Amino acid sequence: MANSASSGTVAIIAKGYPRLSESFIAQEILALQQRGLPLRLYSLRRPTETAIHPIHREITAPVTYLPEYLHAQPGRVLAAWRHARRMPGYDAAWHVFRRDLARDRTRNRARRFGQACVLAAELPAEVTRLYAHFLHTPASVARYAALMIGLPWCASAHAKDIWTTPAWEKREKLADADWVTTCSAVARDHLANLAPNPDRVMLAYHGLDFARLPPPPARLTRDGSDASDPVIVLSVGRAVEKKGYDDVLDALARLPAKLHWRLIHIGGGALASALSARANALGLGPRIAWLGAQPQERVLAEYRRADLFVLASRIAGDGDRDGLPNVLMEAQSQGLPCVSTRVSAIPELIDHEATGLLVPPGDPPALAATLERLMRDPQDRDRLGAAGCRRVRADFSLDAGIDTLARRFGLATTAAAAQ
């Protein structure tokens, strides 16, 4: 185990913990725990899902839930504010908050300051650094609290937080934070252009812990010609605009009637009911299973029995978009051929025609043609699945990204620990 005495305890601030859709955060937390970094977790929301991933059971760091709504815990918030206002950095935090509020007059902004007061007041003395997952709300809470206490803070930026946070806010947070990591080269370049020092922004792919994943299975040679044995198409992702599930449905509706397939969708999301209704209206309902959010063991089982994977990511109306979806890496780790789009960082993982297939975003006809091609050709699926598996296992291991964080937290890297 690495010596982390120089690091002290790190407080990780997350928007919600645990979350099925954020297994990459749990994976990182567990890896840092295993490297010997003392951790405490602070969540801005309580979980709404009853299921958890197996990895969540291995994380032993204590979890504190900050008041999601300030009016629900007035005594706790008032006591925290009275304590925080006596801290040496409270005036500086109040000044930054007032400046932010002038540009973002929302209840959410006021809530962030109240949560920061609770965090600052309740933080144990052994905590020496704050680390926020996501550059929007969690980073605001971390920033205000760090100013109050006089501690350094840092952050990990992912997707929605990067592309929907105003430029002024990103610039100011990048100027205040010690450092920020992000999970794609596209995002790294975007944030580096906003930072006063580009070196403050680091690329750290999430990667996969291959010790937790089995080798890919042998797959059947379904070709869509047998109605009793249809090609199984899998997609894992939240039912939100940026995932492009309406494009997937429109593409599937374009396929020949005599091509037999079945779509399995895993994920929650606000658009789930609307998508199911759309599928029924297109006459696709009997061919689709909407499984909702599922724990990792069920997701892995579906990767292993599917024939191909689809994720039609696109840029949403508010600018939100994917980073580098972990589900694509997971699918490839199981030898599953992937069809996706040329959006954001996806081409950093998938090399078109070499390790998967890419189509333009928002183009159901192109998506339909590509899906039909792979449904009919199991040999092409095997070729792309094997190549994608080799690529992800060679270049997207968890250890590389964790080593980047380990160096920043004063821990030994994998190479150093092995010596």
Environment class of residue 292 by beta-carbon count within 10 Å: exposed (0-12), middle (13-18) or buried (19+)?
Answer: middle
Q: What is the pTM of this model?
A: 0.89
**Dist. CA 56–CA 53, nearest whole Å:** 6
Burial (CB count within 10 angstroms: exposed 0-12, middle 13-18, buried 19+), residue 147 = buried
Kindly give the pairing relationship between strand 231-236 and strand 357-359. unpaired
Q: Judge whether 9-207+397-418 and 211-395 match in fold.
A: yes
Question: Encoding tokens for residue 40?
Answer: 């405490």
Q: Which helix (H) or strand (E) holds 339?
A: strand 338-341
Note down pLDDT in tens along the chain; length 419 residues.
333 334 689 999 999 999 988 989 999 999 999 999 999 999 999 998 888 999 999 999 999 999 999 999 999 999 999 999 999 999 999 999 999 999 999 999 999 999 999 999 999 999 999 999 999 999 999 999 999 999 999 999 999 999 999 999 999 999 999 999 999 999 999 999 999 999 999 999 989 999 999 999 999 899 999 999 999 999 999 999 999 999 999 999 999 999 999 999 999 999 999 999 999 999 999 999 999 999 999 999 999 999 999 999 999 999 999 999 999 999 999 999 999 999 999 999 999 999 999 999 999 999 999 999 999 999 999 999 999 999 999 999 999 899 999 999 988 665 454 44
Instruction: List the domain boundaries for the chain.
Output: 9-207+397-418, 211-395
Region 211-395: CATH code = 3.40.50.2000
Q: Per CATH, the architecture of 9-207+397-418 is what? A: 3-Layer(aba) Sandwich (3.40)
Distance CA 376, CA 380 (A): 9
